[in-house]
Amino acid sequence: MVSIVPFSAEWSPRVREFNRRLVAGGLDPDLQFPEEPKAEFATTPEAAVYQEFFLAGEDGVVRGAYFLTHESWSIGGEICAVANYRLPLSEGLVEAAYRGVSLVLVRDALKRQPLLYCLGMSSYDRPLPRTLRALKWPMFSTPFFFHAVHPSRVLRQLTSLRRSPWRRAAFDLAAFSGAGWAALRLKQGWRRRGRPEPATGRVEGEFGAWADELWGKVNKTYQALAVRDARVLNLRYPPADPRFIRLRVDGPGGLLGWALLLATEMQDHKHFGNLRVGTLVDGLARPEDAGAVVRAAVEELRRREVDLIISNQTHAAWCGALRRAGFLEGPSNRIFAVSVQLGQRLEPWAETQSRLHVTRGDGAGPIHLL
């Protein structure tokens, strides 16, 4: 009989064996469950963000696993407990007799926290989004934006755009002749409109009282977003980690917002090759100030000599600000799905999609971009 148990250290050898069976059965080796119950955050509910790990065990054998990251969201200005349902893996992916385990996992998670969401999942034809769709979870792809600071280098390196031979040849030729650079620069330039909002950026060592002040002022201007006060931000983007760039943005009247940035030298990255990639991971401002924050972020990342800047944003104000700053929209592999119960809190769903503030910093955060 399959039952759900908390993942404790004595289960580690059996989780290792579970992973081994999944890989032997053909599952992507990148999709492995952590072999030790080591959390990225705290594991007790007293913390602002905490995690719980669970296993589906049958006679001492692991048949499934998942973990939850518990966090707080502001929904219509009310603070609610929500959890991110992460890395559900089932023996059913490789062994037909256990196909029901994926459902057992998600139902167990829903009992622990009915307000669940998933973010990522790559594409709608993967088992997890298909299962969630069968459970009637609302979902949509979060818009992905990119801006080529050095277009010819980007065109040469963007391996994700080079899957078919003709595209590869076309991009190589365009980069060599300079036509690609001109075309991309022209297209990005066309998108830049309007007068820039006056703003200055300053890099901070951590999120302080100023971030709390901003959170208090702006959180109710979004229909829903994960809490972004200083306590949570310093957990998600630890001050001791030098890779995180915290950009505070001020206008003539004072604090406008902040952006969390990365400038990463990629090495043989499966999507970005050897580009220096800037990421606008996260940000907060009144929606009308999003443009000023985006411009300051782009300026800071240009100063750090990135080749390409990317971002995932859902809120209409942030998407519009990126487009006005010359960003183009590309194919997104980040699907945002919510449980039926969370979906009810976010009604009307069709309108909510552009009023939610979900960024690259949400869910598992900017993994693969650090």
- Which residues of the chain form contacts with another protein (CB under 8 A)? 1-4, 56, 90, 92, 96-104, 107-108, 127, 130-131, 133-136
Helix (H, G, I), strand (E, B) or coil at 187: helix
Sequence-ordered list of residues with C-beta below 8 angstroms from that of 343, at least 6 positions apart, any chain = 137, 138, 349
The least CB distance from residue 98 to another protein, in Å, is: 7
How far is CA 207 from its chain centroid?
A: 20
Closer of 16 and 99 to another protein (Cβ): 99
Residue 190 · residue 199 · CB < 8 Å: no
Q: How far apart are CA 322 and CA 22, in angstroms?
A: 40
Nearer to another protein, 63 or 295 (CB): 63
Tokens of 201: 């950026």
By C-beta, is 1 or 9 nearer to another protein? 1
Minimum CB–partner distance for residue 345 and another protein (Å): 20
Q: How far is the CB of 127 from another protein (least distance, A)?
A: 6
Nearest-approach distance from CB 128 to another protein, in angstroms: 10
Residue pair 223/353 in contact (Cβ under 8 Å)? The answer is no
Residue placing its CB nearer to another protein in the complex, 101 or 321: 101
Quote the least distance from Cβ 27 to another protein, whole Å. Answer: 14
Q: And the tokens for 344?
A: 């009810």
By the 8 A CB rule, do 67 and 364 touch? Answer: no
Closest CB to another protein among 63 and 360?
A: 63
Task: Classify burial at 19, counting beta carbons within 10 Å of its beta carbon; exposed 0-12, middle 13-18, buried 19 or more.
Answer: buried
Q: How far is the CB of 130 from another protein (least distance, A)?
A: 4
For another protein, the closer of residues 131 and 312 by Cβ is 131
Q: CB count, 10 Å around CB of 349? A: 14
